[in-house]
Structure 1
Amino acid sequence: MDIARRDLLKWAAGTGGSALAAGLALPGTARAAAGTTTPRGLPTDRWMSRLDGGLSVLGLTVPGTHDSCCQNPAYGTEWSHTQNWGIPQQLTEGVRFLDIRCNGLQDAPDELGIYHSDSYQHIRLQDVLDQCRAFLRSQPGETVLMRLRNERAGGQALDDAEFMRRVNHYLDDLGYRGLFHFYGWPTLATARGKIVLIADFANPWGLIDWSSGENGYFDTQDLWQTGGLDPLGTKGQRIVAQFDRAFLNPTYPKMFVNFLSYAGGYWPKTSSQALMDRTVYPYLSARTQQRARFGIVPMDFPDFHVNVLQMLIDKNFI
């Protein structure tokens, strides 16, 4: 089934989507308690602090989340539900890349709200930044990589100039500028205690510019919709190809990104489970003794796939 994601979101808001959400049966999954350690004994809340500060973030495997704030299907539908953990627990469990998507916030002319398409997730950008700042103060040896996206959706969509004005409001008027690293891929020593800002919005500032394909900063796999008889098989092939490409190019001067998430007519929970079971876990578990620089690896529902999350962290220490 080949349906545009935004059409899926709109369709699922009706009775058909509600009925499917109520009837969804989730396969058995792996879970973790807070304050965990990886199979190699790394504490998930401070694993980066164990790495040499001279290492560039380009040399890391960085587990992340896709649509990081979309916790509650009531704020949209099950089609837009991608996470169960909130930001504080994601960070505690070892996630270090956040996918933050913003529109304007109704009745708040200077603020940005977190959205999935046009569905407000009932959390503001300043809430996310405060959560990240609290975590980084408690774990100053860590860093967070953040994609900040202009979602451009619904009645709260913002044009380029207004989005930039509001970003500057956060940086200067609300005092968040010192929380960020802005320009070029840093070493860990430079990035520790800060958010590395990745700009997925038009700007003239020379920031690290996101690409969902390839540009001077990124080489990204983000196939979220395709046709054919086995679209999840096709997505799995793309995931493996990107893992292999990253493994075979350890000094490549761009950040690899490999999204493990997929929409394309499937519930996020079921597509995530199928891809993990069929492709991701078998690939990683067969290579547990192989160090790799996989770059950023965003996923849906890491609480269901703690084994994968922790294997990705451990890739940095083999």
Structure 2
Amino acid sequence: MGIARRDLLKWGAGVGGAAALGSGLLLPSTASAAARTTPRGLPTDNWMRYVKDGVPLLNLTIPGTHDSCCENPNYGTEWSHTQNWGITQQLQEGVRFLDIRCNGLQGAPNELGIYHADNYQYIRLQDVLNQCRSFLQGHSGETIVMRLRNERAGGQALGDDEFMRRVNYYFNELGFRGLFHFYGWPTITAARGKIVLLADFTNPWGLIDWSSGENTYMDTQDVWEIGGSDPLAKKGQYIVNQFDRAFLNPNSPKMFVNFLSYAGGFWPKRSSQDLMDHTIYPYLNARTQQRARFGIVPMDFPDFHVNVLQMLIDKNFV
């Protein structure tokens, strides 16, 4: 799916676990009046500020979004619609992991557009990065973890070398290199004010390599299609198992990732609501007094599930 240069300019102008964590986190004495706050009083726009310096990012529970820029079903269908909040509001509400998937753009030989498969979402990578930079400039205690994926879909799919060339264009010519932390899982101190890059594209640079399964850096549950009867119940069990796995391995050197999203023939709104009602909320609600290092937890439509989003933030501060 391509886009003419005139339309590009038009659309692009827009915008053991308890012991391991116990001494690393501080509750605020007062919450910001302007921000939404969690049940434990954390301002959602600034909650990482209350994580003590020196705490490894690996020790945190980090709420996120799946296909973070897919806000409009007109840019695909309801199948490709996964979010109602834009990037800036997601960050204001406490989301700290973004799932950013790119193809090339017709008429823009150096640029990357954000896609869901071959559906262009009418936002460019520089728009996303500018929004992230603006947020971090106003919230210097926060960090953003970003999966940057070569989507490899449709007429704008890019090969490995061309995708890397365009990424370098963003780092160097467009001046975004200094916005990123590139190598190895950092402490919160090293990550503050930066985007921690997870590279879901072929590269020789020694970055933190994404895995949708397991590798040196990550242990990921991202089951999005299951055969047989009652696939949502089965997906719910995968989610619970990954929560338990993360909780029971507090000293693992890998980041646990647990996608709460599911496709598999269901529109995201339906699968998300079913999983939240029958699996995720009951699991978390039964453990509100239990500190947990759950790692990265991406979801669809956090605006429909603010209670779960805030429960995940509060997991860091029990």
Q: Please, what TM-score do these two structures have when normalized by structure 1?
A: 0.89
Query: What is the match of residue 262 of structure 1?
Result: 262
* Residue in 1 that maps onto 2:227: 227
- Aligned partner of 2:84 in structure 1 is 84
Find the aligned partners of 1:286 and 1:231 in 2 and give their Cα distance. 24
C-alpha separation in 2, matches of 1:174 and 1:53 = 31
CA distance in 2 between partners of 1:228 and 1:35 (Å): 44
The corresponding residue for 2:163 is: 163
Deviations 1:182-216 (A, max 9, x none): 00000011000000000000000000000000000
Q: What is the CA distance between 1:234 and its match in structure 2?
A: 0.3
Amino acid at match of 2:301: F
Matches within 5 A, 1:1-318: 35-318=35-318
| One-letter identity of the residue aligned with 2:100 | I
SS of residue in 1 equivalent to 2:135: helix
**C-alpha distance in 2, partners of 1:126/1:52?**
31
Superimposed CA distance per residue, residues 223-281 of structure 1 (whole angstroms, 9 cap, x where no aligned partner):
10001111000000000000001111111110000000000000100000000000000
Q: Which amino acid aligns with 1:56?
A: P
Rounded Cα–Cα distance in structure 1 between residues aligned with 2:238 and 2:35: 33
Q: In the alignment, which residue of structure 2 is the partner of 1:23?
A: none
Helix, strand or coil: the match of 1:173? coil
Separation in 1 of the partners of 2:229 and 2:208? 38
Paired with 1:236 and 1:35, the residues of 2 have a C-alpha distance of 32
Query: Deviations 1:9-53 (Å, cap 9, x if unpaired)?
Result: xxxxxxxxxxxxxxxxxxxxxxxxx83100000000000000011
Cα-Cα RMSD: 0.6
Which residue of 2 is the match for residue 25 of structure 1?
none
Q: TM-score, normalised by structure 2?
A: 0.89
Which residue number corresponds to residue 26 of structure 1?
A: none
State the 4+ residue runs in structure 1 displaced beyond 2 angstroms. none
Q: Name the CA distance, whole Å, in 1 between partners of 2:106 and 2:186.
A: 36
Distance in 1, Cα, partners of 2:75 & 2:228: 31
Query: 1:283 and 1:243 mapped to 2: Cα distance?
Result: 9
Taking the aligned partners of 2:199 and 2:258, their CA distance within structure 1 comes to 18
Taking the aligned partners of 1:114 and 1:222, their CA distance within structure 2 comes to 20
Partner SS state of residue 172, structure 2 = helix
How many correspondences in the alignment? 285
Q: What is the CA-CA distance between 1:140 and the residue it aligns to?
A: 0.3
Q: Note the C-alpha offset of 1:101.
A: 0.1
> Letter of the aligned partner of 2:79 in structure 1?
W
- The letter of the residue matching 1:59 is N
Structure 2 unaligned regions, length at least 5: 1-33
Mapped partners of 2:234, 2:35: distance in 1:
36
- Structure 1 position 120, deviation (Å): 0.3
Identity percentage of aligned residues: 79
Distance 1:177 1:49 in 2: 23
